[in-house]
Chain A
Amino acid sequence: MNIRTRVLVSAALAVAATLCCGALLWIGASRSVAADAEQERVQATSRLIAGLVTATNDYALHPEPAAAEQWQLQHAALALTLAAPVQSGESSAARLALRASMTELPALFRGLTELTDLAAEPLTERRRDLLIGQLLARTQALTDAAYRWSREAADAEQAARRWLRLGGAGALLLLLATTLAQPIIVWRRVLRPLQVLETVALAIERGDLTARCASTADDELGHVQRRFDAMTLALGERSAELYRSGQRLRAIADNMPALITQLDADERYTFVNSYIERSFGVPREAIIGKTMREVSGGKRYAEYAPHVRAALQGEQTGFETALVVRGAPRHFQSSYIPERAHDGTVCGFYAISFDITERKQSEIRHAASERRLRTITDNVPALIAHIDNEQRYRFLNGQIGRVFSLDPEKTLGRTMREVRGESTYALLEPHVTAALRGEANSFEYVDTVHGSLRHYQSNYVPDVDAQGIVHGFLAMTFDISELKATQQNLEQLARVDSLTGLPNRRQFDEGLAEAMARARRAGLGAALLFLDIDHFKAINDSLGHAAGDAVLKEFARRLRQTVRATDSVARLAGDEFVIVLEGIRAAAEAEHVARKIVLAVRDDFLIDAATHKITTSIGVALFEGDATGPGELMARADTALYEAKSAGRDGYSVAQPHRPLLRVG
């Protein structure tokens, strides 16, 4: 039950109790009054009954009219008194008995009075004695009834007085109880809980956050106490959290590689982290409580003062400063951060300084590196540019400026199309697009620069960040014009057999296809002669490689001498040679050449001052301008060579399906 209800209930009970007491007292008083009234009636009746008894005795002794009349009067008065309305209650039984006794008397008295007029006879006397006896007995009965009535009235009066006393005592007790109940309720339900609240609040004030009201009362103050406990719990948790947070912050502050201090509005240090202690070798206790000026010194303080003023005015500032830490100069990035009270006013500031010495040095190194890089890039014989994803130049090295006569300052920000022109851009555009898609690509192109045709090789390397986004590309272009010329020379060299000076296989392969194409176009035939030196291996083995090379060189010379200038002689490999005869109208022409070669080779070879006999076998394949390919022609010539070898060497065979081997004897 809540307090309000209790108070209301106790008030209601008090009112009810007062009413009850009032009712009790009223009833008691009423009963007492009624009992008193009854007693009065009893007393009056008793007096009358006593009078009647006396009158009866009088008449018994002196049966005279006066006595009879007196009796009548007494009886009438008594009857009148008894005729009054019967009070409810226990006296009614006695009154009924009284009335009943009263009704019996008149007849008896009348009978007695009738005897007075009769003569004194024994029967009359007997009658008289009987009647007197009965009358006296009935009058005694009246007296007895009156006595009982008075006893009952007295009992009723006592009961009424007891009721009154009871009512009064009860009323007093009730009033006392209700009067006490209110303060008890107030004490138990209001003051005591408030006292508990106060005790707990004081304990909390002293810092004991474990204090609790621990109320189980289901009333308003019980709720308040429980809320207070909850609030205390929350406060304790927050305090613990704050403490942990503070500890955490202190741990972080102490272990951060930064100089962290806290100063109040008077510029006195209130917190110094352990990094400062370690860095400067000064215990924090030596700093805390001192002003910045005292700790830093006047000169140094002058440097900080503007920033201190700004911070104390609520403005966060940052600046770089140099300090000597353990004898070594260090650079610091300092921030002064205003500290605000809960009402927003500045009550101090935090000074946090990060050692940026390495960063500084790194910046210097970086700058030097940048310069070096720039020098390198500017002077490297390559055209280096960085183009963004809008195809605008963001960087050009010196070379590209010089080569293309571009002012880097004016070029930066312009597009490739603008800078290189439409025709050149058309060559570059597919590669630019690929690079901007993230595909690195290399390509060569030819461009006219300052009236001169130049070969370039470009490498586009996409500039992709860690997330894979292409921000542009790096273009590295090399002028390979000289390289190209050299390459052509080299290419040229790569087509000649260095021993014999004859075109090598590569040259031959290319030449054969072209010769065959020419023959088709001209409508003329061509012939392929495939020849090798008979028993060259034995010669090489017996004479040695040097001699073998000499044989090959002489052989090649003789071949060249034998054929026409329009014919091509090539050395395929080892001792294998091929000859392409162009402009052949008939097979005989090819045979003629083959014969001449055979004969030319038969002449002695002078190798190392010794003469040697060398022969050759030749396979001849004719090409009549049809669809035959170089490979097939080679195969036929090879087959023909094989036939010439099989026929005994030192001869030639023409690869025609229907021509037998011809041997030049």
Chain B
Amino acid sequence: MSDAPKVEAPRTMRLFRGAALRLAALACLGCGLPAWAAPLTLAVARTPLSLPLYVAQAEGYFAANGIAPKIVDCVGGHRCLQLVLDGGADVATTSDSPVMFRSFERDDYVVIGSFVTTAADVKLVGRRSAGISGPAQLRGKKVGVIRGSSSQFFLDSWLLWHDIDPGSVDQVALQPDEMVAAMRAGKVAAVAAWEPVAFDTMVALKNDATVLPNAGVYTMSFNLVAHRRLAGARDPELVKLLRAVARAEVFIRNHPAESQAILRQRLGVDQRFIDWVWPGLRFQLTLDQSLVKTLESEARWALRERHVAGKAVPYYQHFLHAPPLREVDDNAVGLAR
């Protein structure tokens, strides 16, 4: 055995080794090979619907499942999806509508699971001062809407439900963070907004705001959408992500009070808001044929109403990536194999 003292590698060599490793990691990322050094980046919409991800992060379910995703907040699922499509994130939370809207342009993303359904997230909030008290008063009024999102589909569905031609309403394209100001400023008579924007609008306008009754015409699903390059190549991490989300949903069902506390802390909202939104939320991780049907129905609407360019409804089975969720819970996948 040698008694020679161990000599530490020179600093230069260590730096060179580190740089070489990082380059290799980037190269792996670029070529789609599993970049074992790069964690997943999640673009999470700031909405109560993202609660499972907040809980997974707060309760350490990501770490328990061996992943350490980087979470990036974004306002609106449509923006989260855009971030994924731009390469700024690996997975996004978004409702079905953006999935439908973007399917007519590109197909480099896949839905790996729906984790929340609700028929009450998007609301039509009107200004009393604008004479809005019911559906009929919306004709000819300006209504703020977020294009390419569930807000747009909701508004159209709501109007049609109430026998109002969507064309008779002046749909003003707004971003979620512009809606409160627009209502306050009187630029729009109503807004089709999801939470917490709807609540913020109510709070901001106080008695002037009125929520127009929801007909239940649109049951929205909130989904995890990954860039298609991850499908297959990083399925193990997607499995871990879905496992963490599934576990978080169990926690939400079993510990609603603690979950609400996490939501309050994460969104910076109070219990009034929680009480406002909580009853309409259903947390369950699935990937069903109903999502396909919903997307198809929305696609037909989009084609019919000429909100998208295209002739045929996309083949939405292609936009669903079931293997990771099957590995987590085979019963959660209701798709044909």
Contact = CB atoms under 8 A, between A and B. Distances in A.
A123 B289 contact: no
A126 to B, nearest CB: 6
Contact of B296 (A108, A123, A133): A133
B277 to A, nearest CB: 16
Contacts of A147: 288, 334
Contacts of A67: none
A471 B129 CA distance: 158
B304 A140 contact: no
28 contacts: A104-B119, A111-B215, A111-B217, A123-B160, A126-B160, A127-B160, A127-B161, A129-B300, A129-B301, A130-B160, A130-B217, A130-B297, A133-B293, A133-B300, A134-B218, A134-B297, A136-B293, A137-B219, A137-B290, A137-B296, A140-B293, A141-B288, A144-B286, A144-B289, A144-B290, A147-B288, A148-B331, A151-B330
Interface string A257-270: 00000000000000
**In the complex, the 4 A-B pairs of residues with the closest C-beta atoms, listed nearest first:** A133-B297, A144-B288, A141-B290, A151-B331
A136 B219 CA distance: 12
Contacts of B331: 148, 151-152, 155
A107 interface: yes
Interface residues of A, number: 28
Interface residues of B, number: 34
B4 to A, nearest CB: 57
A140 B289 contact: yes
A140 B336 CA distance: 13
A156 to B, nearest CB: 11
B219 A141 contact: yes
Interface string A100-130: 1000100110010000000000010011011
A123 B297 contact: no
Dominant SS among interface residues on chain A: helix
B60 to A, nearest CB: 24
A653 interface: no
B259 interface: no
B229 interface: no
A147 B333 CA distance: 10
A133 B161 contact: no
A504 to B, nearest CB: 135
Interface in A179-206: none
Contacts of A130: 156-157, 160-161, 217, 297, 301
Given A100-B282, A133-B300, A107 B216 contact: yes
B312 to A, nearest CB: 15
A215 to B, nearest CB: 53
A96 B157 CA distance: 25
Which secondary structure characterizes the binding site on chain B? helix
Interface string A78-109: 00000000000000010011001000100110
A45 interface: no
A148 B330 CA distance: 9
A131 B294 CA distance: 11
A143 interface: yes
A136 B286 CA distance: 18
B253 A93 contact: yes
Nearest to B250: A93
A41 to B, nearest CB: 17
Contact of A126 (B117, B293, B305): B305
A148 B334 contact: yes
Contacts of B133: none
Interface in A146-161: 147-148, 151-152, 155
B178 interface: no
Interface in B152-171: 156-157, 160-161, 163, 165
Contact of A136 (B117, B161, B297, B332): B297
A144 B117 CA distance: 13
A138 interface: yes
B175 interface: no
Interface string B278-306: 00001010101110111011101100110
Contacts of B161: 111, 127, 130-131
Interface string B313-333: 000000000000000001110
A130 B294 CA distance: 11
A155 B329 CA distance: 12
Nearest to A150: B331
Interface string B246-290: 000000010000000000000000000000000000101010111
Contacts of B304: 126, 129
A151 B305 CA distance: 39
Contacts of B334: 143-144, 147-148
B302 to A, nearest CB: 11
A138 B217 CA distance: 10
B216 A108 contact: yes
Contact of A140 (B156, B282, B288): B288
Nearest to B300: A133
A138 B289 contact: no
Given A136-B297, A144-B334, A123 B284 contact: no
A133 B153 CA distance: 13
A104 B215 CA distance: 9
Contacts of B157: 130, 134
Given A140-B288, A148-B334, A107 B297 contact: no
B46 to A, nearest CB: 25
Given A133-B296, A134-B297, A104 B219 contact: yes
B165 A140 contact: no
Nearest to A106: B216
B216 A104 contact: yes
B160 A137 contact: no
A136 B300 CA distance: 13
A130 to B, nearest CB: 5
A143 B289 contact: yes
A100 B216 CA distance: 11
A266 B253 CA distance: 106
Interface in A536-575: none
Nearest to A138: B219
A52 B301 CA distance: 24
Q: Which of B219, B282, B298 has the most CB of A within 10 A?
A: B219
Interface in B220-245: none
Contacts of A134: 157, 217-219, 297
A133 B330 CA distance: 27
Nearest to A136: B293
Contacts of A129: 300-301, 304
A97 B282 contact: yes
Contacts of B286: 144, 148
B271 to A, nearest CB: 24
A138 B215 CA distance: 14
Contacts of B332: 148
A124 to B, nearest CB: 8
B219 A140 contact: no
Contacts of A155: 331
A534 B206 CA distance: 194
Given A129-B304, A134-B297, 5 more contacts: A107-B216, A126-B304, A137-B294, A137-B296, A140-B288
Given A97-B282, A144-B289, A133 B301 contact: yes
